[in-house]
Structure 1
Amino acid sequence: MSSTLGFIAQYLRTVPLSVGFAALLIITSIVTGTIGDFVYSDPAEETWGAGVATASNGQWWTFVTALVIPGDPAQLVAGVLLSLVLLGTAERAMGARRVIASFLVTGVLGLVVGVFFQWIGSLAGEWWAAGTSLDLTLDPLTPIVGSLLTASAFLSALWRRRVRIVTFSILLMFVLYDGDSSNSYRLSAAVLGLVLGRLLARRGEPVAPQRSSHAEVRVLLATIVAVTAVGPVIALINPDGFGPFAAASELFRTFPDAASTTAECAGATSASCVHQLALLSLAGPGPLLLTFIPLVLLLVAAWGLRKGRRFALWLAVLVNIAFALLAWFSLDVMQTLQTEGAGGPSLDVVDYVVWLGSAVVVPIVISAVLVARRAHFGIRAPREALIRFTLVSLVSLVALSVLYLIVGWLTLGSYVPDATLSQLTADVFRRFIPVNFLGTTGHVMVPRDELTRAVFHWVGPLFWAIMVAGILRVFAATDQTVRVGDPQRFRALLKRGGGGTMGWMGTWPGNVYWFSADGEAAVAYRVINDIAITMSDPVCRDDRATQTIREFADFCDANSWTPVFYSVHPQYLRSFDDLGWQYMSVGEETLMHPVTLDMAGKPWQKVRQALNRGIKEGVTTQWLSYDELTLSQANQINAISEAWVSEKELPEMGFTLGALEEIKDSDVKLMLALDPEGMIQAVTSWLPIYRDGVPVGYTIDFMRRADGSMNGTMEFLIASAALAMQKDGIEVLSLSGAPLASKPLAAGEEPPAPTVLTGLLEFLAKTLEPAYGFSTLFRFKAKFNPTYETIYMAYADPLELPAIGAAVGKAYLPTVSAKEAVSLVRTLAAKK
C-alpha cells in the first residue's frame, strides 16, 4: 500500500500543471455552485456556458469559462481524474508550455468551431443543429481531449496510434449515438489537436495515408464493429439524444405491462395488440439478455477481428446483415403501426430516412468494408475446432427446442391467446431470436404457467451462451501442428551454427518452427494465449539477426500473435534496439571454458575434493548417448528419475528445463557416474552446440542423482565432464541459465537502478525459492568459478507484459494439476 501511494505521489510531482488544473476545477465548481447540482444549473449555464445562445448575446468569455467549470458533480469527478491521467500524460509527453498552448487553442477553437456549425445548421433547418442550438455547455473535458491528441504527436508510433484510435473511437461513438453538444465540441478539439500536434512536434509525418499493417487494420475494423455494438446501448441510456444513429436504440426499448396487456389482447388480432404481446414476451431477465444478443455477438466478433480471425469476420458480416434486415422490418412495422393509428411514433419523411440510414445502411456498409478487407483476416481455425463447434451448436439447438416443445405441449392450455400444437411448433424458432425484432410475425402467444414461462424465456439465452462460449473457443484454437520435415530442417540449421548455447532446446516437443523464405534462418517457438514465445536465440548467421527477428515479427503480426524472444543473449540486443523493442533480464547463464580450464587454487578446493573422493571410492564416468545405453542402464536412469519426481509434490517444470524424454535424442550426450559395481550413481545430459557441423560446446540440462550416492557426486560428474571436454578441445561448457537470478557484482560495481520490472522479478525469485530453489542452484553452479552472461526476454509491446508473464508461466508449468497447484501454494506458505 505504501509503495502504491509513493508511486502516485511521485507521479503527481511530475505533472504540477495537471494537478493545478484539477484543483482549479474543484474551486470553480464551488464558486459557481455546480458542485451541488446533480443536473445542470440554469444560472451557471446561462452565465458561464458556451453555446449558440450565449455567443449570439455577445458573451464571448463563455468560450473560456466553459473550459474550466464542470457542469455537475459527475463531470467534476471525471474532470479531476482525466486531468491527472490524460492531461498528465500530455504534460509528461510535451511539457507544461505546450500543454498550456494546446489547452487554450484546442479548447477555445473547439468550442468556436462547434458553435459556429451549430449556428449555421440551425439557420439551414438541419435537424441535429436545430435540436441542439439551445444547448449551453460547461465541459472541461474538451480541452483535455484536445491536449491529449496534441501530445500524441510526441509519443512513439505504437502509443501514438493507440491513443488516436481509442480516443476517436470513443468520441465518434458518443457523437453518433448520443449527439450531445459537448460530444461534438470534444470531437472538434480532437481534430484540432491532431493538426496542432503536427505543427508543434514537426516530425515531418507524411500527410498521405500510409499502408496499414495487419495489426492496424484489424484494430481499426474491430473498433468500428465494437462501436456499433456499444453505441445503441449509449443511445438507450440517453433516450433524448440527438445522435444520427440514436434510432438503433429503438430496437432495444422496454416492455409493456404484463397483466393489462394479456387482459386487453386475450382475443384481439390488431397490429397494436400483436406488437404489444410480442414485446411482452421479452419481459424478464432472460428475454432481456436475448434482446442484446446481436450486440454481444458483435462485441465477440470485434474481439476475434482484433486477433485476425477469419471466422470472426464472417460472424461480424452475418450479424450486421441480420441486424440490417431485422431493423428494416422493425422500422417498417413502426410505420405500419403509425398508419393504423396504433399510437406509434410520428415520423416525417426525413426522420424516417435517417432511421433507415442509421439502423440499416450502416451495418451493410460495415459488412462491405469487412469483406473488402478480408485479406487482413487470414487466420483460420483448425478444421477440428470448426467441426466441434458446429456439432455442439446443432445438438444444443435441437435439445433446447425439443425441451421447449415437450414442456409447451404438456401445458398447451396455459397460452394466451389459445394455441395449437402446430402454432407451438412454429413458435420454436422465435425462442432463439429477439422478439423485439420479429415481434409481429406469426401467431404471438405467451404462457401463463410458471415452468413453461421459465423455459419459454431461458432456452434462447442458454443457447446463445453456449454459442458465444463455442465461438470464443474457436477464436482460441490454433494450429500447432509440426509439419513433416520441419524438425530435421531445424536441426540442420542448428548444426551449421546459430541458436546460441540453448538453441538445442528448440528441438524439444512443444515447439513449432518458422523458417525464413530463403530457408537460411529459423525460429523455434510455441504459442500460448496468442503469445509466441521463442526458444533462445534465432538460428541464423550473425549478420542477418535483425532481418530474421523482423521477419519473424511480421509472421507473428500476420497471425495476430505477440512475439517474445526468451533467453536471448546480449549480442542480439542491438537488433532489438534497432527494431524499437524493449528487453529485460530473466536470468544469468553460467559459462565455463574448458580449453583454458585450470582447477588449481583455493576457489576450486571443493570441486577438487569431490573429484579426489570419487577417484578414491572407485567412481568412474561414461560419455555416451541414450541409444548406446545398455538395457540395465536405461532402466536405472528411468528409476532414478522416477524416484526424484515422486519425492516432490510439486509440478515438474518444462520449457527450458528438460526431463527424461529430452535425453533420448541421439545428438544429446550423457555423462554417467558409475560405482565400482557398474551401478549408476548420477547422470547428466549435455545439449550440443554446433558450428559448421562440428560440436564446439555443450550445455548441461538433465541432472539426477541416485539415493545414497556419494556426497559431491554431481560436482564430481560436472568436473569430470569439463576435463573430458578440455581434452576434446571443446570451447564452451554452459551450466545453463538460472531463472530470476542476478550475477554477483564485481568489486566496485554498482547495482543497476531498480525499476518496477526488476522489483517484480526479485519478488518472484524470493516467492518461488522455497519451492524450486533457483538461488540454491545458482550458488551450486558458482562452485565452478564460471563467467556470467545475462539472458534476456525481448518484447515489442510493454502493455502485453502481464499476458507475456502468464504465457511464460504456462510454458514452464503446462500441465499443472489442481493437487500440484495446492502443493505449490502449501510449500510457498510453509517456508515463508
Structure 2
Amino acid sequence: MSNTRTESESAAEDRAPAGRLRSTAEAIGGFLRRVPFAIGLAVVLVITALVTGTFFGPATADTLAYWAAGVITTFDLGHWWSAFTALFVPADPFQLVAGVILSVVLLGVAERLMGTARAIIAFVVTGVIGLAVGVLIQWLGSNVGEWWATSTAADSTLDPLTGIVGALIAATAFMGALWRRRVRVVTLAFILIFVLYDGDSSNSYRLIAAIAGYLLGALLARNAALLKPSRASHRERRTLIATIIAVTAIGPVVALINGSGLTPLASASYLYKDELPDLSALIDKCNDSGAAITETCRQQLVLVNNNGFGMLVLSLLPVALLLLAGWGLNNGRRFAMWLAIGVNLAILLFAQASFEVSQAIADLTSNDPSVLDLGEFLVWIIAGGLLPLGLIILLLLNRREFAIRSPRRALGRFWLTVGIAFVALAAVYFVVALLNITSYYPVATVWDIVIDTGKRFVPAHFVSASGTVIITDNGFAFIVHQIVGILFWIVFIVAAVILMQKSRSRATPEDASRIRELIRRDGGGTLGFMATWPGNLYWFAPDDRGAVAYRVINDIAITLSDPICSDADAEDVIRGFVAFCDANSWTPVFYSVHPQYLPVFESLGWLHMSVGEETLVHTKGLELAGKPWQKVRQALNRGIKEGMTTVWTTWDELPLSTVAQINAISEEWVAEKELPEMGFTLGGMEELKDPEVKLMLAVDPDGRMQAVTSWLPVYRDGVPIGWTIDFMRRTDESMNGIMEFLIASAALHMKESGAEVLSLSGAPLATKPLAAGQSAPPPTVMTRLSEFLANTLEPAYGFSSLFRFKAKFNPDYETISMAYPDPIELPTIGMAIGKAYLPQVSPKEAVALVRTLTK
C-alpha cells in the first residue's frame, strides 16, 4: 500500500483558515448600505418639515388642516388623502428627530429583513390602515357620545411613526424566533402602555397599525404559522416577562407627564397640578362656608395635601417597585414574582377609589365640563383593572420560571429590617403630628392622626383622599409629612436588592472560586468543568484534598461526573462524601463516572450501570486521512472551498452583532421543538459566557456566523490539555456538514496548540459498537432498563442519532456509569435524575414529551 497521500487528504490537514468576526462598526456600515427606503424616508421627513415649517416649530393650523389625519380633516373637510400624507410630515422638531432616527433604525431593520419592495408596502399599507381605521373609530364614537372619542375628535395627527411601527411588526414574520417574539412583545407592550396611560389619538393609530402589520407580515411571508406564538426557552421567558413588567412600570410616568386623564389608568394625574390654591386662602374660604366642609373644599384640600416633592415621589412608588421586580424576575427570583404580584394587586384593589377621586377632581379643575355617564364609568373601571389582573395571571401561570428562593435567614432579616423601619418612621410621624395637632385643618383628633400616619406610606392616588382629609401649615410637620414614606420605601428597596442577591440553593462565591482552583489543579476528568455550572453545590474534603459537585433532589444527592481530586485521594474523597450524605440523610449517587473509579464503589458494596459512552479523539498526531475520515474530510474541504473561516474565541471577545446572532440561533433551535430543554450535563447559553470556555465559530465569506460550538477546558496542573464539546448550534441556512466542518477544524486547531484530547462528551444511554468477533454480554435487569429508556427517549431527543454523528470522528469509547448504593431506590433515583435533566418542565411540555414518546 502506498504511503503517498492524496491531494484531498493533504488539503484536509489544513483546517479552514482562521477568520475574524465583523466589528459592530462594519456591521452598521453594511446595514446602512442595504436600506435605501429607510434612509430615503428620513430625507423626505427633513424636506417636508422644511416645506411645512415644522422643522422650526409645531405645525400651524393651516398645515394640520391640509396634511394631518383626524375627524375634522379627514371626514368633516373631506381630505381623504390625509391618511396617507400624515405619514410623511413630522408634527414638530422633536417628532422630526425621532422620525429620522426611528426611520433609519426600525424601518431599516424591516427593510433589511423584508427587502425594499415589501418594506414600502408594509409602511404604506399599515400606516394608512392605522390612521384611516383609527379616525373612523373616533368619528363613530364621537357620533354616539363616547367620552374618549368625543374628547379626541378635534385631534389632528401627523405621525410617521404609525407606518414605521406597522412595518416593523410586519417584518417580524421574516425574523428568527428569538427576535420575532422579542420585537412583537416589547413593541406592543410599549404601545399599549401609551394607549392605557396617555390616550392620545396617535397611540391608538399605532396600535391599529401594529395589528395590521402582524397580519400583513404573515401574508407577505406566505406563512400563516407565523401568527402562532413560538416556543421560548426558560431563560427567554424570564426575560420577556421581566420586560413586560418593566415596561408597564413606566405607565404612571407617562400619565404624570401627559396629564390628560383621557384613559382609565391616567386619571390619577389630576391629583398633581401646577396651579394650586393657597392654603391660607383655602382655609379662610372653607371656614366661610360654615361648619360643614363642602365637597368643593374637600377636593381642593386633597389637591393641596397630595402635592409637594415627597408626595410626587411616593406616587411613583409602583414604578420603582415594578422596575425592581423586573430586575429580579430576569434573574429568576421568586421574591420578585411575589413583589410584582403584590404591586399589581394593590393597583387592582385601589383602582376604583383612585379613579373616583381623581375623576371628581378632574371635573373640578378641567375646563371641559363633560363627565362620564354611569355606564361608561363602569366600563373604564373594568378596563383600569384588566392590565394589573392580566399581569398577575401571567406571573402565576409562569411561576415555575422563578424558582430561585432566598435563604430563610436572609428573608427573616429582610422582614425584620422593613418592620423596624416602618415602626420607627411611623412613630416619628405620629409624635410630630401629635405635638402639632392644633396646626391641622380641619380640626384633627388623635384617631385622625393615626389614620393619616398610615397614609404617609401609600401612594397618594391610592388612599390619601379617603376618609377625613387633614392638612397642616406647620413647616416642620409638613416636611415630615413629605419624607417619611420616601425613607421607608428606600429602606425596603435596598433591603430587597440585598435579599435577591442571596440564594437558598446556590454555592457561595467562595465555594465557586475554590472549585475552580481544584479543577485547575486536579482536572476532574473530561467532564469535570461541568462542576462549575450554576445549580451545583459543593462538598470539600479536609485540607482541600478534593471536592464533589452535587445536586440534592428528593433527598437524592446526585454528583456530576468524577470526584475532583488526585487519583491517590479518590477513595478517601468518595468515602468522605458518602459519609457527608449519610449525615444529612441523603442517598448519594455518582453519575457519569469513569471506569477507574468503579473499584472504589465495588469495595463499598455498591452497584453500577452504564449510562452512556463518552467519545474521545486523541489529537496528538491526528491525521484526517484514509477512508474512515472520508465524510469529515469532505465536509472540511467543502467549507474551505465555499470560503468558510473559523474563529477560536471567548464570549467576552465577541462583538455585539455576533452575540445577537448566537442568541437568535439558540432561540430558533428552542422554538423548533415542543419538547422541554434538558440541563444537568447539557449546557446552554449561560454556560457559554464563562471566560474559561472557548467558542469555535464558523463564519461565511460575508462575515456572518453559520454555526457555533463551545469547548470546556480539561486541566492538568493548571494547563488545559484537552477540550470537551458542550454547546452546538447552527443556522437553518448553514452549509450541509457545517458541524463536521467545525469540529474537524477545532480538532486540527487543538492539535496545533498541543492539546492531547478532544472529547465529544457523553452520549446518554448509548452502547459502544462491539469489536470484531466480540459477543454481547448476557442481559441483566439494569441493561434491559437502560435499553428500554434509550428506545423510549430516542424519538424525543435522538440520543442514538447523536451517537452515530460522533462516530464519524473515529473516536475511542469510554463507558460512563452510574454508581448507587441500593437497587431498591432505583425508582426514586430515576425520578431525581429526570428532574435534574428537566428541572422546569411545564404541563404543556410534559404533554408534548409524552405525545412524542408514544408516537
TM-score (structure 1 length as normaliser): 0.59
Kept in 2, the 8 Å contact 1:222–1:305? The answer is yes
CA distance in 1, matches of 2:149, 2:533: 68
1:371 Cα shift? 3.2
1:308 Cα shift? 3.2
Kept in 2, the 8 Å contact 1:271–1:440? The answer is no
Percentage of identical aligned residues: 39
Aligned-residue CA RMSD (Å): 5.2
Change (3 A) 1:109 1:423: closer
CA distance in 2, matches of 1:317, 1:163: 25
Matched, 1:41 2:60: yes
Change (3 A) 1:356 1:203: closer
Change (3 A) 1:552 1:338: closer
Change (3 A) 1:112 1:402: closer
CA offsets per residue over residues 281-312 of structure 1, 9 Å max, x none?
Answer: 33321122112223332332333333333222
Task: Tell me what 1:325 maps to.
Answer: 349
1:202 Cα shift? 4.3
Matched, 1:699 2:717: yes
Letter in 2 for 1:43: D
Kept in 2, the 8 Å contact 1:51–1:135? The answer is yes
1:199 Cα shift? 3.1
Task: Tell me what 1:751 maps to.
Answer: none
1:73 Cα shift? 1.3
Q: Which moved more, 1:430-439 or 1:212-221?
A: 212-221
CA distance in 2, matches of 1:217, 1:77: 34
Letter in 1 for 2:62: P
> Of the candidates 513, 524, 527, which is equivalent to residue 498 of structure 1?
527
Change (3 A) 1:284 1:161: same
Kept in 2, the 8 Å contact 1:165–1:220? The answer is yes
Task: Tell me what 2:692 maps to.
Answer: 567
Kept in 1, the 8 Å contact 2:252–2:316? The answer is no
Letter in 2 for 1:564: K
Task: Tell me what 1:453 maps to.
Answer: 478
Task: Tell me what 1:401 maps to.
Answer: 426
CA distance in 2, matches of 1:394, 1:284: 26
Letter in 2 for 1:307: N
How does 1:357-756 map onto structure 2 within 5 Å?
357-360=382-385, 362-421=387-446, 423-482=448-507, 497-499=526-528, 513=549, 542=614, 564-568=689-693, 698-700=716-718
1:83 Cα shift? 1.2
1:369 Cα shift? 4.3
CA distance in 2, matches of 1:401, 1:247: 29
1:554 Cα shift? 5.4
Q: Which moved more, 1:348-357 or 1:164-173?
A: 348-357
Q: Which moved more, 1:227-236 or 1:77-86?
A: 227-236
Task: Tell me what 1:299 maps to.
Answer: 323
1:462 Cα shift? 0.5
Secondary structure, in 3 states, of the residue corresponding to 1:23?
Answer: helix
Kept in 1, the 8 Å contact 2:65–2:73? The answer is yes
Task: Tell me what 2:91 maps to.
Answer: 71
CA distance in 2, matches of 1:26, 1:585: 51
Task: Tell me what 1:50 maps to.
Answer: 69
Change (3 A) 1:29 1:419: same
CA distance in 1, matches of 2:132, 2:497: 46
CA distance in 2, matches of 1:559, 1:261: 65
Secondary structure, in 3 states, of the residue corresponding to 2:692?
Answer: strand
Task: Tell me what 1:234 maps to.
Answer: 254
Matched, 1:260 2:281: yes
> Of the candidates 212, 216, 220, which is equivalent to residue 192 of structure 1?
212
CA distance in 1, matches of 2:40, 2:723: 56
> Of the candidates 287, 305, 309, which is equivalent to residue 333 of structure 2?
309
Matched, 1:787 2:754: yes
CA distance in 1, matches of 2:684, 2:344: 25
Secondary structure, in 3 states, of the residue corresponding to 1:567?
Answer: coil
Letter in 2 for 1:310: R
CA offsets per residue over residues 142-167 of structure 1, 9 Å max, x none?
Answer: 22112212222222222221111111
Kept in 1, the 8 Å contact 2:99–2:161? The answer is yes
CA offsets per residue over residues 581-604 of structure 1, 9 Å max, x none?
Answer: 857999xx9xxxxxxxxxxxxxxx
CA offsets per residue over residues 356-390 of structure 1, 9 Å max, x none?
Answer: 22334543454344334433333322212211110
Change (3 A) 1:165 1:70: same
CA offsets per residue over residues 446-495 of structure 1, 9 Å max, x none?
Answer: 333333222221111110111122222223322354599x999x99x986
1:400 Cα shift? 1.2
Secondary structure, in 3 states, of the residue corresponding to 1:379?
Answer: coil
CA distance in 2, matches of 1:245, 1:228: 11
CA distance in 1, matches of 2:121, 2:354: 50
Change (3 A) 1:210 1:538: farther
> Of the candidates 179, 185, 208, which is equivalent to residue 165 of structure 1?
185
CA distance in 1, matches of 2:405, 2:267: 35
Task: Tell me what 1:181 maps to.
Answer: 201
CA distance in 2, matches of 1:355, 1:502: 55
CA distance in 1, matches of 2:695, 2:406: 37
Letter in 1 for 2:282: T
Change (3 A) 1:15 1:523: farther
CA distance in 2, matches of 1:340, 1:201: 53
Secondary structure, in 3 states, of the residue corresponding to 2:500?
Answer: helix
CA distance in 1, matches of 2:681, 2:196: 35
In the alignment, structure 2 segments of 5+ residues that lack a partner are 1-22, 565-591, 595-611, 618-664, 671-675, 700-704, 725-751, 759-855
CA offsets per residue over residues 47-85 of structure 1, 9 Å max, x none?
Answer: 122334444455333233221111221111111111121
Letter in 1 for 2:69: A
Kept in 1, the 8 Å contact 2:550–2:559? The answer is no
Task: Tell me what 1:89 maps to.
Answer: 109
Structure having greater relative contact order (Cα 8 Å, sep ≥ 6): 2
CA distance in 1, matches of 2:722, 2:239: 43
1:265 Cα shift? 4.3
> Of the candidates 346, 371, 381, which is equivalent to residue 356 of structure 1?
381
How does 1:239-254 map onto structure 2 within 5 Å?
239-240=259-260, 242-250=262-270
Secondary structure, in 3 states, of the residue corresponding to 1:476?
Answer: coil
Kept in 1, the 8 Å contact 2:142–2:153? The answer is yes
Letter in 2 for 1:466: V
How does 1:13-24 map onto structure 2 within 5 Å?
13-24=33-44
Kept in 2, the 8 Å contact 1:556–1:563? The answer is no
Q: Which moved more, 1:220-229 or 1:166-175?
A: 220-229
Task: Tell me what 1:138 maps to.
Answer: 158
Letter in 1 for 2:420: V
Task: Tell me what 2:782 maps to.
Answer: none
Secondary structure, in 3 states, of the residue corresponding to 1:135?
Answer: coil
CA distance in 2, matches of 1:262, 1:440: 17
CA distance in 2, matches of 1:457, 1:160: 45
Task: Tell me what 2:125 maps to.
Answer: 105
1:33 Cα shift? 2.1
TM-score (structure 2 length as normaliser): 0.58
Letter in 1 for 2:409: E
Letter in 1 for 2:60: S
Q: Which moved more, 1:349-358 or 1:50-59?
A: 50-59
